[in-house]
């Protein structure tokens, strides 16, 4: 089993409910165990500003799935939630990003791990630190030392841990 961290985001429809669905779906993946889920955060969109604010979280899985198989499963969850990819950084019913997988660095046509933008985004690093305060990137950088580890006024806590349990 390998640790994997997944970034969750949504800003269309019922974002909180979409994230609840995603967490429960990830908990049901084969050869996978959900171990932690961060608090729920709100943040403004990156990119086009003509869209609603996002709801974000990070989940930790223990999985025997390969990174590419895990990515395929995450994309299937997105598709089941009605994800449509219309424009880069556009609005989404559900976005699931494979942020970290074990200590691996992966660079293929359809997968880059660590996620290339995560180190710049408080809405990823802050929830990651909620559930893994000692997280270290494959290059040896401590997540807590990144500038994005300091939440600004645009990152709001919407719900404490356990928000996804019904």
Q: Is 134 assigned a catalytic role?
A: no
Q: Is 97 assigned a catalytic role?
A: yes
- What is the distance between the alpha carbons of residues 96 and 75, in angstroms, rounded to a whole number? 7
Which among 92, 121, 134, 154 is annotated as catalytic?
92
Q: Is 33 assigned a catalytic role?
A: no
Which among 60, 95, 121, 130 is annotated as catalytic?
95
Cα–Cα distances in Å, from 35 out to 3, 52, 72, 101, 119? Answer: 9, 30, 20, 14, 22
Q: What SS3 class is residue 44?
A: coil
Q: Is 154 assigned a catalytic role?
A: no
Which among 39, 60, 83, 121 is annotated as catalytic?
83
Which among 97, 107, 130, 134 is annotated as catalytic?
97
- Asked if residue 51 lies in contact with residue 45, where contact means CB atoms within 8 angstroms, the answer is yes
Which positions are annotated as active-site residues? 83, 92, 95, 97
């Amino acid at each position: 089993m390998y640790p994997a961290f997944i970034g969750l985001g949504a800003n269309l429809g019922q974002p909180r409910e979409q994230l609840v669905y995603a967490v429960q779906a990830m908990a049901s993946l084969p050869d996978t165990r959900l171990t932690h889920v961060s608090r729920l955060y709100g943040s403004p969109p990156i990119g086009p500003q003509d869209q609603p604010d996002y709801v974000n979280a990070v989940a930790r899985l223990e999985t025997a799935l390969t990174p590419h198989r895990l990515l395929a499963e995450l994309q299937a969850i997105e598709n089941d939630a009605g994800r449509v990819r219309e424009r880069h950084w556009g609005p989404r019913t559900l976005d699931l990003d494979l942020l970290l997988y074990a200590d691996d660095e992966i660079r293929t046509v359809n997968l880059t791990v660590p996620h290339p933008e995560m180190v710049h985004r408080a809405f990823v690093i802050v929830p990651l630190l909620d559930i893994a305060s000692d997280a270290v990137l494959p290059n040896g950088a401590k997540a807590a030392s990144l500038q994005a580890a300091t939440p600004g006024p645009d990152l709001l806590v919407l719900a404490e841990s356990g928000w996804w349990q019904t």
